[in-house]
Amino acid sequence: MTGKTARQDHTLAQKAYRQVRERILGAEYPPGAVLSRRRLAEEFGMSLLPVAEALQKLVNEGLLESRPRVGTRVRTPSREEIGDRYVLREALESQAVRLFVEKATARDRAEILRMARQLDRMYAVSNAPSVRAFHLKFHLRIAEIGNSELLRTAIEREQDLLFNWLSDTAAQVHPLPDRYHTDLAEAVCSGDIGIADAAIRHHIRYALNELLQLTHPPDGKRWRVGPKAAPPAL
Least confident of 50-54, 115-119, 156-160: 156-160
Confidence of residue 54 (pLDDT cuts 50, 70, 90): very high
Q: What is the pLDDT of residue 181?
A: 96
Chain centroid to CA 69: 29
Q: Are 174 and 33 in contact (CB under 8 A)?
A: no
Which residue, 143, 137, 126, 149, is CA-closest to 230?
126
Do β-strands 64-67 and 71-74 pair in parallel, antiparallel, or remain unpaired?
Answer: antiparallel
DSSP notation for 85-110: HHHHHHHHHHHHHHHHHHH--HHHHH
**CA dist., res. 14 & res. 64, Å (int):** 16
pLDDT (0 to 100) of residue 6: 54
**pLDDT value for 22:** 83
In this prediction, residue 176 carries a pLDDT of 80
How far is 134 from 165, CA to CA, in rounded Å? 14
Q: Would the pTM count as exceeding 0.85?
A: no
Provide the pLDDT confidence category of residue 151 given band limits of 50, 70 and 90. very high
pLDDT at residue 225, rounded to an integer: 43
Secondary element (H or E) of residue 186: helix 180-188
44 against 130, higher pLDDT? 44
What pLDDT, on a 0 to 100 scale, did the predictor assign at position 104?
Answer: 98
Q: Residue 76 corresponds to which amino acid?
A: T
pLDDT at res. 5 = 55
CB neighbourhood size of 179 (10 A): 13
Taking the C-alpha atoms of residue 192 and residue 87, their distance in angstroms, rounded to an integer, is: 23
Q: Kindly list the structural domains of the chain, giving each domain's residue range(s) and its CATH number in brackets, ordered by start.
A: 3-74 (1.10.10.10), 79-215 (1.20.120.530)
Inform me whether the pLDDT recorded for 103 exceeds 90.
Answer: yes
Q: Classify 73 as helix, strand or coil.
A: strand
Residue 25 has pLDDT above 80, yes or no: no
Q: How confident is the model at residue 81 (pLDDT cuts 50, 70, 90)?
A: confident
Q: Are 58 and 157 in contact (CB under 8 A)?
A: no
Give the full edge-to-edge strand order of the sheet including 71-74.
Answer: 34-35, 71-74, 64-67
Mean pLDDT value across residues 48-58: 95
Stretch 218-234: mean pLDDT, rounded?
A: 45
Among 4-18, 55-69, 193-207, where is mean pLDDT lowest? 4-18
Whole-number pLDDT of residue 76: 78
Is the pLDDT at 233 greater than 90, yes or no? no
% of the chain exceeding 70 in pLDDT? 80
- Which of 17-26, 72-81, 139-148, 211-220 is predicted least confidently? 211-220
